Amino acid sequence: MLHLATQSTSVVFDVRWGVPFIVYWGGHIDDAEAQRLVNDVSQRPRAGVIDRPALATIVPMHGDGWLGHPGLLGRHRGGSDWAPRFQTTHVECQRGIDGASSATVTATDAHAELCLVTNIELSAIGLFSVTVELRNDSQMKYLLDELSVTLPLPASATHLTTFHGRWCGEFQTQSIEWPIGAWIAENRTGRTSHEQPPFVLAHESNMGAHDGQCWAAHLAWSGNHVIRAERQVYNRRYLQVGELLNPGEVCLEPGDVYVTPAVMAVYSSSGLQHVARTFQAHARSVVGNLSARPVTLNTWEAMYFDHSPSKVLELADVAASVGVERFVLDDGWFNGRRDDSAGLGDWYVDTNVYPDGLGPIAQAVTEKGMQFGLWFEPEMVNPDSDVYRKHPEWVLERTGYDHVLGRRQLVLDLTRTDAYTYVLSRLDTLLSELPIAYVKWDMNRPHIAAADESGTAATHRQTMALYALLDDVRRLHPNVEIESCSSGGGRMDFEVLRRVERFWTSDTNDPVRRQVIQHHASLFFPPEVLGCHIGAPVAHTTNRESSLSMRCATAFFAHMGIEWNIVGATTTERADVAHVVAEHKALRHVLHHGEVLLTDSMRDTGAARLVHGVVSEDKRTTVLSFAQLDEYSADTTVRLFGLDANLIYTARRIIVASDDPTIENENEWLRSLSQSGKSWATDGAKFPTLPIESTVLVVLEGS
């Protein structure tokens, strides 16, 4: 038996079956109960005609009698050894001084000459993570098709909540009763993806923000993946998560090792709040102690490709006047880049647009007290570019057919040493020559038939090369911050977060869409790593016209920025932006260090109303957003958990802009919010009557 435990969580393993079997994953139990559960495993009834229990081990094997989807698929030359059977050879367990515990279980198949090492960790905060290593000990090549991690779940996990999306519509959810059979999501985009991000929840039917058991899983990987949730006819349920490998993508030479991406999982006995608390705490430990998140202006929707020094400097002047702390020059600054059809890969400043280079621009920005940032898309190339004309062989696509273009561009093969060296050299040179404090790292095209120079599928190695490139940039320029952007939120996961400080959560600045996107993203990531900007009055991506108040209030709860040509804004609009920036700065010690408070408002109102909040570490200050997203007539009572039950909170409203919505009987409503933390959890408070597509911000101060 292995029993990894924190005060709130236990994970119990039986290691007699070659690969560890998760006997129990749930609330804390003692060692005696854990041992009883392990003893019961051998007494399980036969599954069908198999004479011994067919177990969903962390890597279930068809050769052991497992009739579900195997965790390992592969074979030696000629198709042999495709159904291996492993025997446990070594078990090692360690307990850390911080309350964390870990285990390593080694198993071998002497006949197939394979070695499987399972690495398990339960952190002090209750994050359960697993990686598996497969080593080829034979003298023949081993072609690996799949190696995934399996998490068996109890029958009480009757429902699934899955995540899907699209460009400008990331982090959408659906909840379904877990059917008999398999629910499968496959991502083949070469990035984390908008469409099928690697997150899944299994839960009880009554699960909400604070109620019901929930088992959440995430694959920390920025490439292709597969998620499988199967309920078998015997009512056994399991999640299976791993990298999706294209045909022939991983071939293990003698002695080679393949390591799965980490599967990170959280158990909660009290709904989504604990899931969010645990994942966000882990995210904060990964990114480290971030400085105060600078209010950022990005030039993209302010000028698109219409660059000139005078326009950039005029925008920088206005940005500084409203309190912007970081100024990012987006796409359009390099050779031949007058639209999106040309120039990608030619990372040289276009002197036709900037005759004196970017030095004077960067200097002017920094002299105004702002950091200077620059946009790159290092993994891509336009066919209409000098680098492609010189090196057409650098494209990650070899099919014998015409190239498949996406956004009029192709993927650059970073698995090639020469292409990799070129990109790193250009990044290093620009970051050395200019006072660049921030890089917006974009990736706008999925992988299609991604193959290296030998014609072998290469998304796996391209993803590893991306990590290496980010690591090299960080090594050469340790003080430069990096944003992960992929047409918005197409690359958001915990592995890339080890190398960046910010995600561009979505390409849409439409505040109504952003409210839902950010709320769901907050199940996994804290506000300070989720970029959100105040956009123009009419959203570029949806043509929705929104009030300045709604746009400001939505950006308030994230890493706040501006993406709007405020040079053309009215005097009143500029004053409002300066005001909300100042309010944000005054409260970002709460917003970017506190705990996100989830409510059941969206579940109760069908996404028409959303209440979102953050409470400070000392529980004395809480910032709340009441957003009316769509028409809804019935009264809504909002309960807040996570405040100090013994404190009395006094409510005040933050006016974010001149066009803030009017609240009927506002003073009376604010008095109703002024109550103890205990009353907030038991009695709650009423949602105000608001116009459609409007938001009200409130601060609760406890004493």
Phi-psi region of 589 (alpha: psi -120 to 50; beta: other; left: phi over 0): alpha
Q: Is 51 one of the catalytic residues?
A: no
506 burial type by CB count under 10 A (0-12 exposed, 13-18 middle, 19+ buried) = buried
CA distances from 387 to 69, 383, 426, 462 (A): 45, 9, 12, 19
H/E element holding 598?
none
Contact (CB, 8 A) for 388 and 420: no
For 318, phi and psi rounded to 5 degrees?
A: -70, -40
Nearest-angstrom CA–CA distance, 373 and 377: 14
Q: Is 442 one of the catalytic residues?
A: yes
The strand pairing partners of 164, in sequence order, are: 172
The strand pairing partners of 146, in sequence order, are: 73
Nearest-angstrom CA–CA distance, 328 and 560: 13
Q: Which of 64, 330, 507, 604 is catalytic?
A: 507
Contact (CB, 8 A) for 611 and 556: no
| Nearest Cα residue to 606 out of 634, 645, 625 | 634
CB atoms inside a 10 Å sphere around CB 205? 12
Sign of the Cα pseudo-torsion (53, 56, 59, 61, in order): positive
Q: Which of 64, 81, 346, 442 is catalytic?
A: 442
Nearest-angstrom CA–CA distance, 365 and 116: 54
Nearest-angstrom CA–CA distance, 127 and 369: 40
- How far apart, in Å, do the first and last CA atoms of the chain sit? 49
DSSP assignment of 441-466, as one string?
E------SS-B-TTS-B-HHHHHHHH
- For 280-310, give one letter per residue: b (16+ CB within 10 A) or e: bbbbbeebeebeebbbbbbbbbbbeeebeee
Polymer length in residues for the chain: 703
Nearest-angstrom CA–CA distance, 336 and 383: 12
Alpha helices in 288-416 (DSSP H): 300-303, 309-321, 359-367, 386-390
The strand pairing partners of 638, in sequence order, are: 685
DSSP assignment of 345-363, as one string?
T--SB-TTT-TT-SHHHHH
| Nearest Cα residue to 145 out of 53, 62, 54, 238 | 62
Sign of the Cα pseudo-torsion (284, 286, 291, 297, in order): negative
Catalytic center residues: 442, 507
